[in-house]
Structure 1
Amino acid sequence: MIKGIYETHVNVRNLENSNHFYEKVLGLAHAYGQPERGNSFYWIGGERHAMLGLWEKEPAQVQRQHFAFHISLEDMKHAVEYLENKGIATRNFHDDDTGELYVFGWMPAVSVYFTDPDGHSLEFIAVLPDEAKPELGLIPWSEWERMHGRGV
């Protein structure tokens, strides 16, 4: 019956700042908003495909959340540069300073993490075309690609 997640909602401290981040920085298309009610909605993946809702709340009501945006594998090759060119700090799963992105062998998928103005943990994730290898756990993307005869 369930075919996907259609919408996700997050509480934000300042709707104007969050609107700027999601629309102008990340490039999501604005779908609808009710400033008088403190909300904005953004299309993800095209109109009517999926939606992100932002709700302005008091700071005590804004709890850190996590969600991931699906991107293409080709876009993942440039995701760190794309985000950092927009002034967004990126990190890998281990939050270390190697700059190496990791593959979740059980999916398999590669991802990069960053935060929004409210500290919500965001992720760009790209599913790889290969067979899952859960026994590998988390491995560097470059190692995964070498195992499959490709280079990042």
Structure 2
Amino acid sequence: MIKGLFETHLNVTNLEQSAHFYEHVLGLPLAHSENTEGRKRRFYWIGEERNQAMLGIWEKAPSEVVRQHFAFQVTLEDLKQSVSYLKAKGIEASNFLDDDKGQLYVFGWMPAVSVYFSDPDGHSLEFLAVLSDSPRPELGMVPWKEWELIHGRTW
């Protein structure tokens, strides 16, 4: 029955600050903005085609903002540039364990390569590209460069 994930929402402490981040740092196109009866929120299209996926951000009191996580699917080519892109925007990137700054890592069980970063409220965000390689769960999480060497490739 379920065919995909259409929409997810995040509570944020400052709508304008978060809107700047999602619009100007990540480049998400604004779908709708609303500020009525104390409800401040914005919705963004995700992906190349509109009406396929959406992110909503809602301004809430700090006590209502709990750190959450989600991943943006990106192409492998875009992921290769993501660390330098984020760094140019003043955003620190790390791996899943937050122990290797600025390095891409592969989850061997998927396999998928990814990098993590945070939004202004500390929500954990991820750029992720699923690889066409066969899963290698026995490898656990490995640096992208190591994964490529195991598969006889370089980039």
Same fold (TM over 0.5): yes
What does the per-residue CA deviation read over 1:84-143, in whole Å, with 9 as the maximum and x for residues that have no partner? Answer: 101111111221245432110010001101000001000001111111111111111111
Pair 1:103–1:19, CA change in 2 (3 A)? same
Is the counterpart of residue 63 in structure 1 residue 66 in structure 2? yes
Q: State the alpha-carbon separation in 1 of the partners of residues 146 and 9 from structure 2.
A: 36
Is the counterpart of residue 90 in structure 1 residue 93 in structure 2? yes
What does the per-residue CA deviation read over 1:9-47, in whole Å, with 9 as the maximum and x for residues that have no partner? Answer: 010001111110000110000000112221100000031
Q: Which residue of 2 aligns with 1:20?
A: 20
Q: Which residue of 1 aligns with 2:57?
A: 54
Pair 1:28–1:103, CA change in 2 (3 A)? same
Moved more, 108-117 or 31-40: 31-40
Unaligned runs of 5+ in 1: none
Q: State the alpha-carbon separation in 1 of the partners of residues 89 and 34 from structure 2.
A: 27
Q: State the alpha-carbon separation in 1 of the partners of residues 101 and 22 from structure 2.
A: 27
Q: State the alpha-carbon separation in 2 of the partners of residues 47 and 102 from structure 1.
A: 30
When the two structures are superposed, what TM-score results if normalisation uses the length of structure 1? 0.96
Q: State the alpha-carbon separation in 2 of the partners of residues 28 and 99 from structure 1.
A: 23
Q: Is the 8 A contact 1:93 1:101 kept in 2?
A: no
Q: Which residue of 2 aligns with 1:39?
A: 41
Aligned pairs, number = 152
When the two structures are superposed, what TM-score results if normalisation uses the length of structure 2? 0.94
AA matched with 2:140: G
Q: State the alpha-carbon separation in 2 of the partners of residues 142 and 6 from structure 1.
A: 33
Specify which of 131, 136, 139 is matched with residue 134 of structure 2: 131
